[in-house]
């Protein structure tokens, strides 16, 4: 999912030239070819309930084969109990055996979309007023189509990269209990996707509704998403004779203790660079507080100011929040069981076990805390590697002059965490600019600015070439 960026940051950064109208955005032959791939992918339903990532992967594989990829270059994968949640790994071999491969990652699955709620059919790509509307038009089929299209263009143009380029199109990123293709590849086929680094969703750019580009971001690290269950149990009894020992009250006390607790501030190289780089654009009080906090994470007064911004607050620490409640079995009975789901976003380097121990300490002896499956790996922050950061900025100077790429850590989570767990640093690349509503990803009437999509495609194509040598 694309990184969330606060409006206060975006609106105070430098605005540049407005985007032109979409009328000429897809006039080139290569753009028309991309549109065909993108449209087919978007209009292939890949929701968990009724869609098929396996079908989408086969469609893209057929296009790669038609462009000249051999069967040996294409690996389809799935498991018997999830036949519709398959994926594809494609490989374009490089000319230098000593150059380590690079990995392009995108997920094919999308969030559910009900036709009765949408203005338009969510599984038909519709162009209106300079936007493409459809479920997955942004998250993440824009990038999936760009990566596949780039390999097709490389093949048809007979471009031979120095380093091997690998493409992994996976399923299961959007749904906790789906078969997760990225996790499966990391655990079962690590050699197939082995790479020096990976490029993924999570970065991007911010633009105004009238098309002014505001900022560009490279995601360098993310939190680990993990759910925990609080459980209070009790023999119960008749509600006409209440007692202090009440499962609901015990659960409520535990939730209140968790709500009141602030995990300590921590920095990675990325978040330190983010706050240092973003500070000059802030109002004076926020600017000064951000710089003080970078210098001294224990500065409580500075934390109080910086944490008034919810994204800044979440970027600084692990966060845990109650998201689901269930209690009792009858209106006239004392509750025998009360449960709550606590959704945590764990700061890089911190563990599920450590977070569980803290939650249990806060909840007290009367409430049991357990970690819910699946258990996420520890988030490993990539480095601010100049070999990754400098080419991205150099290509941006050509496509988006005047904008500086700011590194950020996502407060959300992507499938990159599974590859980072086996030693492949994954970066969320910029290129596609989003409006303040984040292109309505996961929501009703998801959309993407047409010209922004094609401009981002050109940027990412050149960026892959720059990395591939």
pLDDT tens-place string over residues 21-39: 444 567 899 999 999 999 9
Relative orientation angle of helices 53-66 and 141-156, to the nearest 10 degrees = 20
Contact predicate 403/430, CB 8 Å:
no
Tokens of 469: 């040598």
Neighbouring-strand partners of residue 126 = 133
In DSSP notation, 405-421 reads: EEEEEESS--THHHHHT
Q: Which residues, in sequence order, are CB contacts of 267 under 8 Å at separation 6+?
A: 275, 294, 297, 316
Give the CATH architecture of domain 225-263+318-371. 2-Layer Sandwich (3.30)
Q: What is the mean pLDDT of the chain?
A: 94
Q: Which residues, in sequence order, are CB contacts of 375 under 8 Å at separation 6+?
A: 226, 352
Q: Is the pLDDT of residue 7 over 60?
A: no
Higher-scoring residue by pLDDT: 381, 5? 381
> Residue range 188-205: average pLDDT?
97
Q: Is the pLDDT of residue 18 over 60?
A: no
Contact predicate 314/411, CB 8 Å:
yes
pLDDT for res 24: 57
> Residue range 402-423: average pLDDT?
94
Per-residue model confidence as pLDDT tens digits over 344-379: 999 999 999 999 999 999 999 999 999 999 999 999
- Give the closest residue to 359 by CA, choosing from 334, 395, 322, 326: 322
Contact predicate 430/396, CB 8 Å:
yes
DSSP 457: H
How would you classify residue 204: left for phi > 0, otherwise alpha for psi between -120 and 50, otherwise beta?
Answer: left
Tokens of 98: 């000593």
Cα separation, 140 vs 59, in Å, equals 16
**Residue 300: CB atoms within 10 Å:** 10
Q: Is the pLDDT of residue 189 over 90?
A: yes
- The CATH 3.30.70.360 domain(s) of the chain lie at 225-263+318-371
Please provide residue 66's backbone torsions phi and psi, each rounded to the nearest 5 degrees.
-65, -25
Cα separation, 25 vs 453, in Å, equals 9
Residue 205: burial class (beta carbons within 10 Å; 0-12, 13-18, 19+): buried
The CATH number of domain 7-223+379-468 is 3.40.50.2300: no
Pairing mode, if any, of strands 405-410 and 213-222? parallel
Cis peptide before 125 (omega within 30 of 0): no
- The CATH 3.40.630.10 domain(s) of the chain lie at 7-223+379-468
Segment (H or E) for 338: strand 337-346
């Amino acid at each position: 999912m694309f990184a969330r960026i606060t409006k206060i940051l975006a609106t105070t950064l430098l605005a540049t030239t407005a985007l032109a109208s979409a009328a000429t955005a897809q006039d080139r032959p290569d753009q028309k070819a991309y549109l065909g791939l993108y449209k087919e992918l978007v209009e292939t339903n890949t929701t968990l309930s009724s869609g098929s990532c396996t079908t989408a992967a086969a469609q893209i594989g057929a296009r790669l084969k038609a462009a000249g990829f051999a069967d040996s270059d294409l690996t389809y994968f799935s498991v018997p109990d999830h036949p519709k949640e398959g994926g594809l790994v494609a490989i374009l071999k490089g000319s230098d055996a000593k150059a380590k491969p690079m990995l392009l990652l995108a997920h094919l699955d999308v969030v559910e979309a009900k036709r009765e709620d949408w203005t338009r059919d969510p599984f038909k790509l519709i162009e209106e007023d300079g936007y493409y509307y459809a479920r997955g038009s942004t998250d993440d089929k824009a990038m999936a189509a760009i990566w596949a299209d780039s390999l097709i263009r490389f093949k048809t143009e007979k471009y031979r990269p120095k380093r091997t380029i690998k493409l992994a199109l996976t399923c299961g990123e959007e749904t906790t209990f789906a078969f997760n293709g990225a996790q499966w590849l990391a655990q079962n086929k690590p050699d197939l996707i082995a790479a020096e680094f990976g490029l993924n969703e999570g970065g991007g750019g911010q633009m105004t509704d009238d098309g002014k580009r505001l900022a560009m971001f490279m995601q360098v690290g993310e939190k680990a998403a993990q759910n925990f269950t609080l459980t209070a149990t009790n023999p119960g009894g008749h509600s006409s004779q209440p007692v202090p020992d009440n499962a609901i009250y015990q659960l409520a006390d535990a939730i209140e203790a968790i709500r009141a607790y602030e995990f300590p501030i921590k920095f990675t190289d990325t978040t330190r660079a983010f706050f240092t780089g973003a500070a000059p654009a802030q109002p004076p009080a926020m600017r000064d507080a951000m710089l003080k906090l970078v210098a001294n994470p224990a500065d409580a007064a500075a934390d109080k100011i910086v944490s008034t911004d919810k994204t800044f607050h979440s970027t600084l620490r692990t966060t845990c929040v109650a998201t689901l409640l269930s209690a009792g079995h009858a209106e006239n009975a004392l509750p025998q069981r009360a449960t709550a789901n606590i959704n945590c976003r764990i700061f890089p380097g911190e563990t599920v076990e450590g977070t569980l121990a803290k939650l249990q300490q806060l909840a007290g002896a009367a409430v049991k805390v357990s970690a819910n499956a699946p258990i996420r790996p520890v988030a490993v922050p990539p480095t601010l590697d100049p070999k990754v950061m400098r080419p991205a900025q150099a290509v941006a100077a050509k496509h988006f002059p005047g904008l500086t790429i700011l590194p950020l850590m996502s407060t959300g989570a992507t499938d990159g965490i599974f590859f980072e767990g086996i030693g492949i640093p994954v970066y969320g690349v910029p290129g596609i600019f989003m409006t303040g509503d984040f292109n309505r990803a996961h929501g009703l009437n998801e959309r993407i600015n047409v010209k922004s999509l094609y401009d981002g495609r050109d940027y990412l194509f050149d960026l892959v070439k720059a990395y591939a040598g």
